[in-house]
Amino acid sequence: MNLHSTVATRNDSGKEGAAALSKQRLRVWLRLLEKNRGTLGQLRASLRAEFNTTLPRFDVMATLDRHREGLRMSHLSAHLKVSNGNVTGIVDSLIQEGLVTREVVHEDKRAATVRLTPLGVERFSLMACAHEAWIDSIFSRLDGDALEQLSSLLDQLQGDAK
């Protein structure tokens, strides 16, 4: 075996190793998607069964709960990473149920601030407690060390928006 064939063999095995690693990464990604879909499905079903609500409504209320002073609709959409149109329908239905208020911003009549009502805060508190219990159950097979390890591994992914 000469130098050229040794380098070629190393390059070929390096390519095979890289290809195998690439396929492994793809399999892990697909498993993450599967687990995410399963978890979201459980959460959606539980929210519907226990609170007759949806995950997007829960997300809107959770964001408003973190911003008790209220948020402009555009800021709410930005926090949720969805369009204003998607949020408007949800906010409208939450207003009809007395869970959210919408007030025109005095400085800009085109803008509106939304916030949870006292009833909205109360209802969200119940949902948040149930949500935590559901997540606790879903992750119950992982002890503290495993959760730290999983969190650390997720932090190592490229593209992690921090």
Looking at the structure, do residues 94 and 127 belong to the same domain, yes or no?
Answer: yes
Looking at the structure, do residues 80 and 18 belong to the same domain, yes or no?
Answer: no
| Residue 145, domain member (yes or no) | no
Tell me the per-residue pLDDT of 48-92, one tens digit each, with 9 for 90 and over: 999 999 999 999 999 999 999 999 999 999 999 998 888 999 999
Count the domains in the chain: 2
Q: Quick check: helix, strand or coil at residue 52?
A: coil
Tell me the per-residue pLDDT of 85-116, one tens digit each, with 9 for 90 and over: 889 999 999 999 999 999 998 888 788 899 99
Looking at the structure, do residues 57 and 47 belong to the same domain, yes or no?
Answer: no
How far apart are alpha carbons 13 and 51 in whole angstroms?
Answer: 56
Task: Quote the domain boundaries for residue 118.
Answer: 53-134
| Residue 125, domain member (yes or no) | yes
Cα diameter, the chain:
82
- Tell me the pLDDT of the chain averaged across its residues: 90
pTM of the predicted model as reported, rounded to 2 decimal places: 0.81
CB count, 10 Å around CB of 160? 8
| Residue 58, domain member (yes or no) | yes
CB count, 10 Å around CB of 43? 17
Looking at the structure, do residues 78 and 90 belong to the same domain, yes or no?
Answer: yes
Percent of the chain whose predicted confidence (pLDDT) is above 70? 90
CA 100 remoteness from chain centre? 22
How far apart are alpha carbons 117 and 95 in whole angstroms?
Answer: 9
Looking at the structure, do residues 27 and 59 belong to the same domain, yes or no?
Answer: no
The helix (run of H) or strand (run of E) holding residue 104 is strand 100-105
Looking at the structure, do residues 75 and 121 belong to the same domain, yes or no?
Answer: yes
Q: Side chain identity at 84, as an amino acid letter? A: N
Looking at the structure, do residues 57 and 126 belong to the same domain, yes or no?
Answer: yes
Looking at the structure, do residues 77 and 120 belong to the same domain, yes or no?
Answer: yes
